[in-house]
C-alpha cells in the first residue's frame, strides 16, 4: 500500500480565524475564500454572528459585513467558542477594546484551558476581566485601551495575538515581546492590511490605525492538516505524495524539518502568496524512518504536529525523544498523556515525560482500542498509526476530527482503496 499523486487540504485554521476577525473589523464587506469547514472556524463565525457581524456564504466563499474597529455589539447571552482556544483567546484582546460586557465560554475541553496567561498580558492595556480561577467562562469588561509595552512570558501565538489585537484598538503605540518566536500570522496579515507594524529582536511594534480596510483574503491550505497525509506517506514505503496550495510560513514548517531529520525526502516549494503568507507545494517521498531528538525551537515550530511525531517515532528505527513541549499538556487534551496512553494501547514502546516522550521504535504496532480524549489531532494521529498496525486501531470518537479536518478519515481511506485497486489492475 502506498500514497501517490496529489491532494488538497482544508484552508489554514489559524489564518482562517484571523481572516474572519479582520474582515469583521473592516470598513464594509470583506470576503474570505478557501476557509476550512472545520468546527473551530464555525465557532469563530458563530461568535461573530453573536457580536452582530453578518456573514453569508457566496460562491464557496464567505462575505463578512465589517462593522469597523469598534463596532462589535455585546450580546445578552454568553459567546460560545466551542472547542476553539484560538477563538476565545483572540476575542479576549479584541473585545477588551469594545463597548460592553462579553462572557466567553466553550465546551468541556475549553473550560479546562488556561486564560490567565492572556488576561495578565492585557491588563497593562487597561483590559478588565472577571474570571474564577484560570479557566473559562470569563467576562471581558470592554472599554477604552491605551497602548502598552508587554512581555508575553510564554511563546504563544494566541497570547501574542490577543495583545496585538488590543494594541490595534488602543490609543498610542504598542510593543509585544515573546521569549521565542511563535507563529506570526497576525503580524503578516496586519501588515497586509497596511497597519504600521514591524518586528525586531523578538519585539513586535504596532501603531494603531484609524480604521482597517475591507479586503478579500485567500486562505492557503493548512500545513497542520497536510501533516497527517505527509506522516501517512512517510510510514508507507514507496509513497510519493504532493500537497498542493499549502501555507509555507517558516514559523509553521517545523514538522517538515522533523520529517527530514527522521529520514524522509521532503521538498517544499513556494509558488505564490495568500494573506501575506507564502504558499506552494510539499512533496514527500518515503524512506526508512529513523529516530530523532526534537526539542527547543524545533519543538515549538512543530507543536501541533507533535502527536504525529510520536506516531512516527513509534515506527522509526531506534530512539525518538521529544522535549521542551510541556505546552502540549494544555491543548485540546493533555496531548502528552493522551498520545502515550493511545500508543501504548496499540503496542508502542513510549514513556511520557513532563515535557514530551521517549519512544523506542518498532516495525509495526499491534492495534487495539484507543481513546482520542475528545481531541481532533489525537484521533487523526492514531488513524495514521493504524496504517502500520497488524490489527485495526479502533478510535472511540473519530468524529472529533471534524474540529479541524472534516472528512479526513474518509479521504484517506478512499485514497488507500484507490491505491489497492490500482495495484490489482
Ligand atoms: C494557534 C496557536 C498555537 C496553536 C494553536 C493555534 C493560533 O497555540 O497550538 O493550534 O492560531 O494562534 P499557542 O498559543 O500555544 O502558540
- For the segment 123-169, what is each residue's pLDDT rounded down to a tens digit? 999 999 999 999 999 999 999 999 999 999 999 999 999 999 999 99
Ligand 1 contacts CB of residue 403 (under 6 A): no
Q: Residue range 364-368: average pLDDT? A: 98
Rg, the chain, Cα only: 21
Residue 131 grid cell: 474570571
Count of CB atoms situated within 10 Å of the CB of 384: 26
Looking at the chain, the whole-number percentage of residues with pLDDT higher than 70 is 100
Is 240 noted as a catalytic residue in this protein?
no
Distance 158 CA to ligand 1 centre (A): 5
In 34-187, beta strands by DSSP E: 55-58, 61-67, 79-80, 101-105, 128-131, 138-141, 149-151, 174-177
Average pLDDT of the chain is 97
Give the closest residue (by CA) to ligand 1 atom 15. Answer: 156
Q: Compute the distance between CA of residue 420 and CA of residue 3 in angstroms, rounded to an integer.
A: 10
Given this model, what pLDDT does residue 20 score?
98
Distance 2 CA to ligand 1 centre (A): 32
Which atom of ligand 1 sits closest to the CA of residue 158?
14
Ligand 1 contacts CB of residue 156 (under 6 A): yes
Distance 86 CA to ligand 1 centre (A): 7
Residue 237 grid cell: 514505503
Distance 280 CA to ligand 1 centre (A): 22
Q: Which of 14, 219, 222 to mutate to test the pocket of ligand 1 (most atoms within 8 A of CB)?
A: 14
Give the closest residue (by CA) to ligand 1 atom 2. Answer: 157
Residue partners of 379: CB distance under 8 A and separation at least 6 = 372, 395, 397, 398, 400, 401
Given this model, what pLDDT does residue 257 score?
98
Count of CB atoms situated within 10 Å of the CB of 77: 8
Task: Report whether pLDDT(63) > 90.
Answer: yes
Q: Residue range 380-389: average pLDDT? A: 98
Q: Which of 36, 38, 86, 222 to mutate to test the pocket of ligand 1 (most atoms within 8 A of CB)?
A: 86
Q: Compute the distance between CA of residue 83 and CA of residue 105 in angstroms, rounded to an integer.
A: 10
Strand 196-200 versus strand 203-207 pairing type: antiparallel
Q: Compute the distance between CA of residue 368 and CA of residue 386 in angstroms, rounded to an integer.
A: 9
Looking at the chain, the whole-number percentage of residues with pLDDT higher than 90 is 97
φ, ψ of residue 164 to 5 degrees: the values are -65, -35
Ligand 1 contacts CB of residue 83 (under 6 A): no
Per-residue pLDDT band at 119 (split at 50, 70, 90): very high
Given this model, what pLDDT does residue 275 score?
83
Which atom of ligand 1 sits closest to the CA of residue 182?
16
What tens digit of pLDDT does each residue of 303-328 get?
999 999 999 999 999 999 999 999 99
Given this model, what pLDDT does residue 425 score?
72
Given this model, what pLDDT does residue 161 score?
98
Handedness of CA 43, 45, 48, 54 (dihedral sign): negative
CA 223 to chain centroid: 9
What tens digit of pLDDT does each residue of 9-50 get?
999 999 999 999 999 999 999 999 999 999 999 999 999 999
Per-residue pLDDT band at 420 (split at 50, 70, 90): confident
Count of CB atoms situated within 10 Å of the CB of 271: 11
Q: Which of 17, 117, 156 to mutate to test the pocket of ligand 1 (most atoms within 8 A of CB)?
A: 156
Strand 61-67 versus strand 101-105 pairing type: unpaired
Which atom of ligand 1 sits closest to the CA of residue 224?
10
- Architecture (CATH level 2) of domain 13-204: Alpha-beta prism (3.65)
Given this model, what pLDDT does residue 423 score?
73
Per-residue pLDDT band at 395 (split at 50, 70, 90): very high
| CATH 3.65.10.10 intervals, the chain | 4-8+220-423, 13-204
Given this model, what pLDDT does residue 417 score?
86
Distance 14 CA to ligand 1 centre (A): 7
Per-residue pLDDT band at 102 (split at 50, 70, 90): very high
Which atom of ligand 1 sits closest to the CA of residue 159?
14
Given this model, what pLDDT does residue 80 score?
97
Q: How far is CA 394 from CA 8, 120, 186, 199, in A?
A: 26, 42, 38, 46
Given this model, what pLDDT does residue 169 score?
98
Fold annotation for 4-8+220-423:
UDP-n-acetylglucosamine1-carboxyvinyl-transferase; Chain (3.65.10)
Task: Report whether pLDDT(281) > 80.
Answer: yes
Catalytic residue among 184, 304, 334, 375: 304
Give the total residue count for the chain.
425
Which atom of ligand 1 sits closest to the CA of residue 161?
12
Distance 317 CA to ligand 1 centre (A): 31
Ligand 1 contacts CB of residue 157 (under 6 A): yes
Distance 230 CA to ligand 1 centre (A): 21
Give the closest residue (by CA) to ligand 1 atom 9. Answer: 304
Q: Compute the distance between CA of residue 400 and CA of residue 379 in angstroms, rounded to an integer.
A: 7
Ligand 1 contacts CB of residue 86 (under 6 A): yes
Per-residue pLDDT band at 330 (split at 50, 70, 90): very high
Amino acid at each position: 500500500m502506498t500514497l501517490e499523486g496529489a491532494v488538497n487540504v482544508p484552508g489554514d485554521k489559524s489564518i482562517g480565524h484571523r481572516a474572519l476577525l479582520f474582515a469583521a473589523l473592516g470598513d464594509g464587506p470583506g470576503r474570505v475564500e478557501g476557509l476550512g469547514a472545520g468546527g473551530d472556524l464555525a465557532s469563530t463565525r458563530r461568535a461573530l454572528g453573536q457580536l452582530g457581524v453578518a456573514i453569508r456564504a457566496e460562491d464557496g466563499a464567505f462575505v463578512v459585513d465589517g462593522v469597523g474597529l469598534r463596532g462589535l455589539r455585546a450580546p445578552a447571552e454568553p459567546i460560545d467558542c466551542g472547542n476553539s482556544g484560538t477563538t476565545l483567546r483572540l476575542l479576549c484582546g479584541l473585545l477588551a477594546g469594545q463597548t460592553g460586557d462579553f462572557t466567553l465560554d466553550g465546551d468541556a475541553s475549553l473550560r479546562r484551558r488556561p486564560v490567565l496567561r492572556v488576561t495578565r498580558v492585557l491588563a497593562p492595556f487597561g483590559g478588565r476581566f472577571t474570571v474564577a480561577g484560570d479557566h473559562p467562562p470569563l467576562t471581558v469588561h470592554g472599554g477604552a485601551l491605551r497602548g502598552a509595552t508587554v512581555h508575553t512570558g510564554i511563546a504563544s501565538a494566541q497570547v501574542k495575538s490577543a495583545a496585538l489585537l488590543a494594541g490595534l484598538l488602543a490609543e498610542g503605540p504598542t510593543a509585544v515581546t515573546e521569549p521565542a518566536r511563535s507563529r506570526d500570522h497576525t503580524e503578516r496579515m496586519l501588515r497586509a492590511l497596511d497597519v504600521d507594524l514591524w518586528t525586531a529582536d523578538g519585539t513586535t511594534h504596532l501603531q494603531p490605525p484609524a480604521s482597517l480596510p475591507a479586503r478579500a483574503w485567500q486562505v492557503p491550505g493548512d500545513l497542520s492538516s497536510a501533516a497527517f497525509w505527509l506522516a501517512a506517506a512517510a510510514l508507507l514505503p514507496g509513497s510519493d505524495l504532493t500537497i498542493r496550495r499549502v501555507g509555507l510560513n517558516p514559523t509553521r514548517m517545523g514538522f517538515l524539518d522533523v520529517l527530514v531529520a527522521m529520514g524522509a525526502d521532503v521538498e517544499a516549494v513556494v509558488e505564490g502568496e495568500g494573506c501575506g503568507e507564502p504558499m506552494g507545494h510539499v512533496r514527500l517521498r518515503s524512506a526508512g524512518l529513523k529516530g530523532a531528538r526534537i526539542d527547543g525551537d524545533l519543538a515549538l515550530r512543530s507543536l501541533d504536529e507533535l502527536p504525529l511525531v510520536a506516531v512516527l517515532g513509534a515506527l522509526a528505527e531506534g530512539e525518538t525523544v521529544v522535549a521542551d513541549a510541556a505546552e502540549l499538556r494544555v491543548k485540546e487534551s493533555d496531548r502528552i498523556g493522551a498520545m502515550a496512553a493511545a500508543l501504548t494501547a496499540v503496542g508502542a514502546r513510549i514513556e511520557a515525560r513532563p515535557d514530551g516522550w521517549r519512544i523506542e521504535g518498532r516495525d509495526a504496532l499491534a492495534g487495539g482500542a484507543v481513546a482520542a480524549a475528545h481531541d481532533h489531532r489525537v484521533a487523526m494521529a492514531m488513524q495514521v498509526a493504524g496504517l502500520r498496525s497488524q490489527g485495526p486501531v479502533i478510535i472511540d470518537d473519530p468524529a472529533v476530527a471534524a474540529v479541524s479536518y472534516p472528512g479526513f478519515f474518509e479521504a484517506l481511506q478512499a485514497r488507500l482503496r484507490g491505491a489497492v485497486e490500482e495495484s490489482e489492475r
